[in-house]
């Protein structure tokens, strides 16, 4: 696919929190990453307001295993409280994603150099991302490296269909929808032989408004163009 990347994503623990389990301070991970979590990881590899990152698919390589831990998180009122978090353990995925230009940011048209964005994205992936990778929670460090999606053996390759029930797909933000609202999207994914094919955010039919919100403004006055970024990277590499 055009402007795409394919990468392995792995770590010792992950916590893609099911919001239904947070009522009493407990946290229980979904069995697989959400679209929004993977989108955030792609944006940690490379992000600019010019771009919209689209996650196409995920392949689960290792078996889904859980581990519960007693945690003492910081309480809002000060001090610590007691909680029990259930993490995914020893996770390994393959992810396929691509970018498009954000149609709701016409003021960023000066930065729409497709070829250079894609080159920086691939270079950033090889370097392990431009920001730290977290697997759903800050205490769950993740790592990325390029791969070919579908290569190698996966635990669920011949497993058949696994219905995962209703899950959070992601969050709609004003700069991605053109609406001054923050919304949550739900969907009902099916994992087929270890692979989940994501529907696009605009294809989700279960959408609920959370609150009103306006988008942060970006233009040439507070964003460096990709041409300048590419030039700086080339100068650093030649030093």
Question: DSSP of 13-79, one letter per residue?
Answer: EE--B-GGG-TTS-EEB-SS--HHHHHHHHHHHS--TTEEEEEEEEEE-S---EEEEEE-PBPTTSS
- Judge contact between 194 and 60, C-beta under 8 A: yes
pTM over 0.85: yes
Q: Which residues pair with 211 in a beta bridge?
A: 182
Other CB atoms closer than 10 Å to residue 59's CB: what's the count?
25
Q: Which residues pair with 53 in a beta bridge?
A: 99
Rounded to whole angstroms, the Cα distance separating 117 from 169 reads: 26
Q: Where are the alpha helices (DSSP H) in the chain?
A: 35-45, 114-126, 174-177, 226-238
Q: Which residues pair with 93 in a beta bridge?
A: 9, 60
Q: Which CATH class is domain 4-161?
A: alpha beta
Mean pLDDT by 10 residues, the chain (239 residues): 94 93 83 97 96 98 95 77 90 98 94 95 95 95 97 96 96 94 96 97 95 92 86 66
pLDDT at 239: 57
Q: Where are the domains of the chain?
A: 4-161
- Judge contact between 28 and 167, C-beta under 8 A: no
């Amino acid at each position: 696919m055009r402007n795409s990347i394919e990468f392995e994503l792995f770590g010792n623990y992950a916590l893609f929190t099911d919001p239904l389990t947070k009522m009493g301070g407990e946290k229980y991970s979904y069995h697989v990453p959400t679209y929004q979590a993977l989108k955030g990881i792609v944006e940690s590899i490379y992000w600019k307001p010019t771009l919209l990152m689209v996650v196409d698919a995920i392949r689960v390589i290792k078996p889904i295993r859980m581990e519960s831990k007693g945690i003492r998180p910081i309480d809002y009122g000060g001090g610590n409280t007691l909680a029990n978090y259930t993490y995914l353990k020893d996770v390994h995925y393959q992810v396929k994603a691509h970018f498009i230009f954000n149609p709701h940011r016409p003021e960023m048209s000066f930065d729409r150099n497709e070829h250079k964005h894609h080159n920086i994205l691939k270079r950033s992936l090889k370097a392990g991302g431009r920001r730290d990778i977290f697997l759903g929670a800050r205490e769950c460090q993740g790592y990325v490296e390029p791969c070919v999606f579908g290569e190698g053996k996966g635990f669920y390759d011949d497993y058949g269909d696994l219905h995962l029930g209703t899950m959070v797909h992601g969050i709609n933000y004003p700069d991605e929808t053109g609406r001054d609202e923050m919304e949550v999207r739900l969907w009902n994914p099916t994992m087929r032989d270890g692979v989940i094919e994501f529907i696009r955010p605009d294809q989700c039919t279960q959408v609920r408004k959370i609150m009103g919100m306006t988008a942060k403004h970006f233009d040439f006055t507070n964003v460096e163009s990709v041409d300048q970024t590419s030039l700086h990277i080339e100068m650093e590499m030649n030093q």
